[in-house]
Structure 1
Amino acid sequence: MPRDFYATVAQVLPVLLLAMLWESRFLEGLADRPRVSRRLDPVGGVRFWTRPRVRVYSLSVATIVMLDVGLCLLVLGGLVPDSVALRALVAAGLLLVLGTLLTRIWIDVIRATADRPRE
């Protein structure tokens, strides 16, 4: 049963990473939108997610996903023994990317369906 868990996670995580970074045009949106802090631009600035923070978070999530996939492959290859702690670590990485993707979906849907002022 644990082998199925690792095999499934190893297949699902790259797809989630693809959805998170490339398929959603996330990187293009980051390049196009200014992300000035609220301190510098009180009206149009962002409170927390400035470009450096988005960069660090996105690269951290991508790195964690790749490490998770690597761990799954090492377990499937018999190089790392299965344990409850390892399964919890892999599940935590999966929950991180799922939570990140869900948050981004919410933000994108809210932004896309927001009422825009009429010109």
Structure 2
Amino acid sequence: MDISTSITFDGMPPSEALREMILERARRLSRFADDIISCDVVVSVDERRHRHGNRYSVRARATLRDDVVEVGHAHEPDAGNEDPYVAANQAFDALRRRIEDHVRRRRGSVKTHADR
């Protein structure tokens, strides 16, 4: 199943290699939920540092038929990464885990605690 994927590069020139890696990771998400409609990804430069390298962040949003799952909105002091490929892999790993959790909740496979 082909997922409609949009990729935006903010504050940096587009990279075809990074775009292909993101498209491949988005395609793999269909293994975890077969009802993903679209995936929107924004790769941005958080801060430009001369001596220590730039910090990149990746925000990803997957739209399912009944919900939207998002990752990458945490603004912690060390939330960025100096390598955009590593930042993209971390974002897609987190997105995959959240999609898996959403699918488990939807089908009722999550344990609930009994009231005391």
Q: Give 1 or 2: higher strand fraction.
A: 2
Measured against the shorter chain, the TM-score band is 0.3 to 0.5
Structure having greater relative contact order (Cα 8 Å, sep ≥ 6): 1
Q: TM-score of the superposition, structure 1-length normalised?
A: 0.34
Q: Give 1 or 2: higher helix fraction.
A: 1
